[in-house]
Amino acid sequence: MARVEIELPHHRYEVIIEPGVLANLGGITASLARHARCALFGDANVLALHGAAARASLEAADYEVVVGEIAPGESNKTLASIERIYDVLLDARLERGSPLIALGGGVTGDMVGFAAATYLRGVPFVQCPTTLLAMVDSSVGGKTGVNVAQGKNLIGAFYQPVAVVADPWVLGSLPVRELRCGLAECIKHGVIRDESLFEFIEQNVGVFLSAAEDTASATAAADTMAELVRRNVEIKASVVIEDEKERGVRAHLNFGHTFAHAIEATAGYGEIQHGEAVALGMRAATRVAAELGICDASVQGRLSDLCEAGGLPTRIELASDDVLQGAMRHDKKVVGSRVRFVLPTRIGEVVLRDDVPPECITAGWAEIRS
Ligand SMILES: NC(=O)c1ccc[n+]([C@@H]2O[C@H](COP(=O)([O-])OP(=O)(O)OC[C@H]3O[C@@H](n4cnc5c(N)ncnc54)[C@H](O)[C@@H]3O)[C@@H](O)[C@H]2O)c1
Ligand SMILES: [Zn+2]
């Protein structure tokens, strides 16, 4: 079993990564937030697949379990869904000590986390991520929230869980496209901090992809997958510990995302997944770095080869440069009027630059335009 400690100034918790650990969700929750009752939330897909196991584990730890279902998908990551979560909690008269458990992907984790931060001004919260993206990215770091008409994740709170419980076995039911998207964020972590992680993904990409949509293969791949999750959580945790509220180095996690957000904002709804946009964005940003002469061509080659091996897109139809530039300037991470880019200098290291000439950005777009 792997445990990664997240030690923040006001709070400490562990990410527990182990094949089969879902069966111990109740015991772990009870050791941190003992109470007569708890609330388990998941989206309809995840509850149908893994809800019974999670519930049985919580009941075995003597919880009376209130189960709440969330409508699946990014389009339901809304304040209306949060209100429905509050209704479940209020109708069941859940009290301040009752833990809330988020069983699911990033959509569920972000929303249940936000509800936990605000219900009775804060109740204990356990993350039980069931997508690779949620295991390596969204469940660690304490960002919670919802989308509004004006943009994604604009309403939210920093709120840390009491524990994160990640079971690689549950990835056996995950659609392969979702697994690939999680892999894109893992590749990102390798580029920004850790060349040996990047190599580990290069060596095992086939094993990781085999884990999706097949319970037997997910079980066979579980140890390698657990190592992938642990190494990524360690990187995300180290960045978050250094910069909990995103004032400095946490920006490195945004590698590929300035381009990705513009791709997502200009592509039709449902056309492209976030992880796919990140894969393209990383390639565009790496081209920008090459144009600036701060990284050599081998970085570009290794990154495109790995994205391709991971089944991630390397090109896409794009809007005009003007439209894309406009979308970039609207990104909420833009500081002042300058667009700030995270650019690799080699695999394992990035720098922040807000002085990128327009022609380099154009070259970045050209790199991924089909
Ligand atoms: N809080 C953060 O720091 C942070 C970081 C990155 C992303 N996010 C957020 O995460 C969200 C994306 O998360 P996601 O990619 O996990 O999406 P998701 O939660 O929508 O899950 C993707 C799909 O997979 C299904 N699913 C989940 N687990 C499954 C399983 N084990 N088997 C079968 N199906 C399963 C879900 O029902 C859903 O249809 C976005 O809203 C994004 O903003 C947050
Ligand atoms: Zn991302």
Q: What is the DSSP string of 296-359?
A: -HHHHHHHHHHHHHTT--S-B----HHHHHHHHHT-TT-BTTBPPEEEEEETTEEEEES---HH
State mean pLDDT over 25-37.
Answer: 97
The average pLDDT across 146-171 equals 95
> pLDDT tens for residues 262-292?
999 898 766 899 999 999 999 999 999 999 9
pLDDT at 110: 98
Q: Which helix (H) or strand (E) holds 12?
A: strand 11-17
Q: What pLDDT was estimated at residue 227?
A: 97
pLDDT recorded at residue 271: 82
DSSP for 65-106 reads EEEEEE--SGGG-SHHHHHHHHHHHHHTT--TT--EEEEESH
* This prediction's pTM: 0.96
Q: Following DSSP, what letter does each residue of 264-312 receive, concatenated?
A: HHHSPTTTS-HHHHHHHHHHHHHHHHHHTTSS-HHHHHHHHHHHHHTT-
* DSSP tag of 165: E
Distance (Å) from CA 311 to ligand 2 centroid: 17
What was the pLDDT predicted at 332? 61
Distance CA 200, CA 194 (A): 10
pLDDT of 340 higher than 70:
yes
- Beta-bridge mates of residue 163: 14, 126
pLDDT exceeds cutoff 70 at 246: yes
In 10 A of CB 154, how many CB atoms? 12
**How many angstroms does the Cα of residue 107 sit away from the middle of ligand 1?**
5
User: pLDDT category, 232, cuts 50, 70, 90?
Assistant: very high
Rounded to an integer, what distance in angstroms lies between the CA atom of residue 288 and that of residue 367? 9
Lowest mean pLDDT, pick from 101-110, 163-172, 214-223, 238-247: 238-247
Q: How many helices (H) and strands (E) does the chain have?
A: 15, 11
Residue 350: name the closest of 269, 285, 271, 279 by CA: 285
- What's the pLDDT band for 25 if we cut at 50, 70, 90? very high
Q: Which residues are catalytic?
A: 121, 143, 185, 236, 246, 250, 254, 257, 261, 274
Cα separation, 207 vs 17, in Å, equals 18
Structure token pair of residue 310 = 């991971």
Tell me the CA–centroid distance for residue 30 and ligand 2, in Å.
Answer: 32
Average pLDDT, the chain: 94
- Tell the residue nearest (CA) to atom 16 of ligand 1: 105
Q: What angle do CA 246, 226, 42 make, to 5 degrees?
A: 70
Mean pLDDT across 22-29: 98
| Cα–ligand 1 centroid distance for 332 (angstroms) | 21
What is the structure's pLDDT at 341?
Answer: 95
What residues flank ligand 1, with Cβ below 6 Å? 43, 45-46, 49, 72-74, 77, 104-108, 110, 130-131, 133-134, 137-138, 141, 143, 153, 170-171, 173-174, 178, 181
List, for residues 172-227, the tens digit of each pLDDT value: 999 999 999 999 999 999 999 999 999 999 999 999 999 999 899 889 999 999 99
By 3-state DSSP, what share of the chain in percent is helix, strand and coil, each rounded to 5? 55, 20, 25
pLDDT at 248: 78
Is the pLDDT score of 113 beyond 90?
yes
Where is average pLDDT lowest: 19-28, 164-173, 336-345?
336-345
- 33: its two tokens: 């937030």
Q: What residue type is assigned to position 220 of the chain?
A: A
